[in-house]
Structure 1
Amino acid sequence: MISDVDLRHLRRCVELAAQALAADDEPFGSVLVADDGSVLFEDHNHVASGDHTQHPEFALARWSAQHLTPQERAAATVYTSGEHCPMCAAAHGWVGLGRIVYIASGAQLAAWLTEWGVPAAPVAALPVTAVVPGAVVEGPVLELVNDIRALHHRMHGPSDGSR
């Protein structure tokens, strides 16, 4: 069940995704939160550099491997604007991070992009649990899906109604 605390962290993910978009990058943002509720690390997409591995979920996994014990990683929660791609899900699983809460699913994003005529990504939009079977995952979070859709529409959607 999504709590008010979860929604607060997810709203921060929306803010980070908007920051990425303002920097001419893809609108994704993520926050790593300790079991005591403190924010440990946050990031947004940096793929505009040409390195398409610069996803915020991957950055959170790398940061946690360098700064947290295995027990701290397992107790942490990753909040993110979009469901982890397979690369990020694998990183999450390998470092042993805990719960994932995402706003929009990979399937939702893929459907939006198809609707807007954007070519398919080179990696399948698999659910996190297809990559990390034991992952504890919650999402999509319907209260915020339209906020994320709007950010992706600003980046990829038709600006003149022609699509």
Structure 2
Amino acid sequence: MPITDVDLAHLRRCADLAEEALRDGDEPFGSLLVHRGDVVFEDRNRVKDGDATQHPEFAIARWAVGRLSPRERAEATVYTSGEHCPMCSAAHGWVGLGRIVYAASSAQLVDWLAEWGVDPAPVAPLPITDVVPDAVVDGPAEELADRMRELHRGRFR
């Protein structure tokens, strides 16, 4: 499915959350959950204190499983500034969330980090569908590539 103007509006909010995380000294990632047209949950990365599981996509999965029925989770859309890592992809699959739309791909981030001489992450950057084969995934959003690149570059300045 192509990324729509509504999708882009949600992805811009994710980028805003990523920028908020960066200003707070964290990695620039932000995500939100939309159900029936309403944003029902949003969060940003919170790993700066040493808990590498505090990704917003993982927080969405935990929040959704406690508040939405399986059917509602399947109807919901996760928007995120960056493609899920394998941990977050697995959480998404295990709780049965619906479509995922991301601004920047893991492959883009890997390329940017290599360009800047940054060591790779300790976890392989697998595409979401390598972890959750039936996931409905759309991204990256080329309209936001420059903004996402600059946010990530800001982390290493």
Q: Which residue of 1 aligns with 2:117?
A: 117
State the SS of the aligned residue for 2:114: helix
Q: Does 1:27 align with 2:22?
A: no
Cα-Cα RMSD = 0.6
Q: Which residue of 1 aligns with 2:4?
A: 3
State the alpha-carbon separation in 2 of the partners of residues 143 and 43 from structure 1.
22
Letter in 1 for 2:18: A
Shift of residue 4 of structure 1? 1.1
Tell me which structure has the larger Cα radius of gyration: 1
Stretches of structure 1 that go unaligned for 5 or more consecutive residues are: none
Letter in 2 for 1:19: E
Shift of residue 2 of structure 1? 1.1
Stretches of structure 2 that go unaligned for 5 or more consecutive residues are: none
State the alpha-carbon separation in 1 of the partners of residues 64 and 49 from structure 2.
23
* Pairing of 1:140-151 with structure 2 (within 5 A): 140-151=140-151
State the alpha-carbon separation in 2 of the partners of residues 47 and 148 from structure 1.
18
* Pairing of 1:11-160 with structure 2 (within 5 A): 11-34=12-35, 36-156=36-156, 159=157
Letter in 2 for 1:88: C
Shift of residue 151 of structure 1? 0.3
State the alpha-carbon separation in 2 of the partners of residues 90 and 115 from structure 1.
28
Shift of residue 49 of structure 1? 1.1
TM-score (ref. length: structure 2)? 0.98
- Equivalenced residue count is 156
State the alpha-carbon separation in 2 of the partners of residues 108 and 92 from structure 1.
21
- The ranges of structure 1 where at least 4 consecutive aligned residues each deviate by more than 6 angstroms after the TM superposition are none
State the SS of the aligned residue for 2:41: strand
Shift of residue 134 of structure 1? 0.2
State the alpha-carbon separation in 1 of the partners of residues 86 and 107 from structure 2.
12
State the SS of the aligned residue for 1:49: coil
State the SS of the aligned residue for 2:43: strand
